[in-house]
Amino acid sequence: MGRKTLIIGGVAGGATTAARLRRRDEHRQIIMFERGSYISYANCGLPYYIGGEIRDRNALLLQTPQAMKQKFNIDVRVCSEVTSIDPEKKKVTVRNLNTDEIYEESYDDLVIATGSSPVKPPVPGIDGRNIFTLWTVPDTDAMKQYLEIHRPKTAAVIGGGFIGLEMAENLHRAGLKVSLIEMQNQVMPPFDPDMANLIHETLRGNQVDLILGDGVKEFCQEKDSVIIRLNSGTQVEADMVVLSIGVRPNSELAEKAGIRLNERRGIAVNDYLETSVPDIYAVGDVIGVDHYVTGEKTMIPLAGPANKQARILADNLCGDRKKYKGSMGTSVVKIFDLHAAGVGLNEKQLKAMGKRKGKEYFTALIDQKSHAGYYPGATPLTLKMMFEPDGTILGGQIVGKDGVDKRIDTLATAMRLGGTIYDLEELELAYAPPFSSAKDPVNMLGFVAENILRGMATFIEWDEMDALMADHTRKDDVVVLDVTEEVERKAYAIPGSYHIPLGQLRERMDELDKNKLIIPYCAIGVRSYNAARILMQNGFQRVRTLSGGTAFYRSMHDGE
């Protein structure tokens, strides 16, 4: 018999470690303990089962204890809670939750993959019978049963992160009237407010009652419904509530064993996924990781990193010395017909780090089509990228209805391989009219970024322009220049703008004052960039193009 490895926890981290470990070492004794009844399930798919998009519950169960035993000869013990770890004796204490039997198990190597749990703050009434979290298969069964038996008509989702947005969509799909309540002034914390606004627009367009900047004060049961009292004094009534406030690492067991935690109570591990205690390792949501861009410690509880960590750890347990080189937080979410994705740092984080825009970092924000505009079905894509003066890519966000995932994956790949904005320009990407354009939106990000760094283009954001126009002391120094065609201007024009179509600009530029700040705009920014180049080469020293054009500007003023 070879070495004996105990694994605490299943799902992405634990189950993947076990399977890879067996493929590497046929003779090792592997025992996996899982507190719940399920060792490997698709927790990312749970909201779609609630909404009926995934109809077969069994499709969510990726591995069973029986299959793990037959395929991998792994001793899987479900309903078994590890209650303590004794690093000196190299033993764990286990309680069988079905029989209450308590026993010890020795180990040569111990892997902690205890994951994370939903945050439930001490809000009065939060344990009400029709208040749910969605994290495990039993959570899903309880919610599905409630929907089928009680037939609720209204639901409130608390929290606007990934699961909150997915639950809002899927409860809507199940026929409920949905409210989404978020304490911050935007949904999706990994996104900047401007890009999150595009998500807000879609939520409201699908009749989700979106309440931002307001937290829950208390939950009050009233017959079969819940009265949600908010800090502002607003009250929301719902037949059921779903909590999606965030997650916390399940690190209590490690802490009791003297294993070092980080500031956010995640288990601290080194590059080899070793904890502070010899022969004890950790993977998945429970650990702190290095942020790939900054190198700083952070928590990124995502399935992709957990699976990669598990594979590396299994190899290291077999004698390799592989490093986990950090996480970038690459992610994507579906909100009705909209897709939103991000990678790396956002602008909020850069500002919080004390970075100055236009000095230590720059942003490129563009609107493109998902494929060639002349081919049917092309839809808008909004892309935002942050980068340093040397061209290093810091992060990006993309929102649209088609092609979002492949563009964020391209950006993430370039970042992982040390690529710069100049590499984005040179990428040779697949093109045919149904799929993309000859200049892919990712190429365009590179082109625009280079223009910014070379001083060929200077942009102004929608809120900066609004602030200038609202400042009576500076308003007269600004000309907002509409370079669209007359028919477009009849459909929409920014208030107070001056109109000269692009085709007439060269012969009419004497209508403009060279001493003033000129802000050209068009629908998506292409014509306004051309206008800016004309003006800049004809003696206009102060020209700043409106980022994203009116397509983006109008979304930022949705509901006004």
Question: Do the bridges between strand 362-369 and strand 380-387 make them parallel or antiparallel, or are there none, so unpaired?
Answer: antiparallel
For position 1, what pLDDT does the model report?
A: 65
Long-range Cβ contact pairs of 252-260 (< 8 A, separation 24 or more): 253/8, 253/82, 253/83, 253/84, 253/85, 253/112, 253/114, 254/85, 254/112, 254/114, 254/282, 254/286, 256/84, 256/85, 257/84, 257/85, 257/86, 257/87, 258/87, 259/85, 259/112
CA dihedral 272, 277, 282, 287 (to 10 degrees): -90
Q: Are 268 and 261 in contact (CB under 8 A)?
A: yes
Beta-bridge partner residues of 111: 7, 281
Give the CA angle between residues 61, 67, 69 to the nearest 5°. 135
Q: Which residues of 185-199 are buried (b: 16+ CB within 10 A; e: fewer)?
A: ebbbebbbbbbbbbb
Interatomic CA distance for residues 497 and 223, integer angstroms: 55
Interatomic CA distance for residues 416 and 90, integer angstroms: 38
For position 12, what pLDDT does the model report?
A: 83
Interatomic CA distance for residues 177 and 210, integer angstroms: 12
Interatomic CA distance for residues 283 and 269, integer angstroms: 9
DSSP 413-440: HHHHTT-BHHHHHH------TTT--SS-
Q: Tell me how far CA of residue 526 lies from CA of 268, 473, 502, in angstroms.
A: 48, 30, 11
Rg (CA), the chain: 27
Token readout for 212 is 């931002």
Active site residues: 44
Q: Are 57 and 68 in contact (CB under 8 A)?
A: no
Interatomic CA distance for residues 158 and 265, integer angstroms: 23
pLDDT tens, the chain, 560 aa long:
689 999 999 888 999 999 999 999 999 999 999 998 888 777 788 899 899 888 888 888 777 888 888 899 999 999 999 999 999 999 999 999 999 999 999 999 999 999 999 999 999 999 999 999 999 888 999 999 999 999 999 999 999 999 999 999 999 999 999 999 999 999 999 999 999 999 999 999 999 999 999 999 999 998 889 999 999 999 999 999 999 999 999 999 999 999 999 999 999 999 999 999 999 999 999 999 999 999 999 999 999 999 999 999 999 999 999 999 999 999 999 999 999 999 999 999 999 999 999 999 999 999 999 999 999 999 999 999 999 999 999 999 999 999 999 999 999 999 999 999 999 999 999 999 999 999 999 999 999 999 999 999 999 999 999 999 898 888 889 999 999 999 999 999 999 999 999 999 999 999 999 999 999 999 999 999 999 999 999 999 999 999 999 989 998 887 55
Single pTM value for the model? 0.93
Beta-bridge partner residues of 56: none
Block residue for tokens 């209650």: 83
- Amino acid 211 reads I
| Residue spans of alpha helices (H) in 326-419 | 347-352, 404-416
Residues 6+ apart with CB under 8 A from 491: none
61, burial (CB in 10 Å: exposed 0-12, middle 13-18, buried 19+): middle
Nearest CA to 414 among 396, 432, 400?
Answer: 396
Q: Are 121 and 245 in contact (CB under 8 A)?
A: yes
Interatomic CA distance for residues 477 and 457, integer angstroms: 20
Block residue for tokens 């509409």: 482
- Amino acid 513 reads D
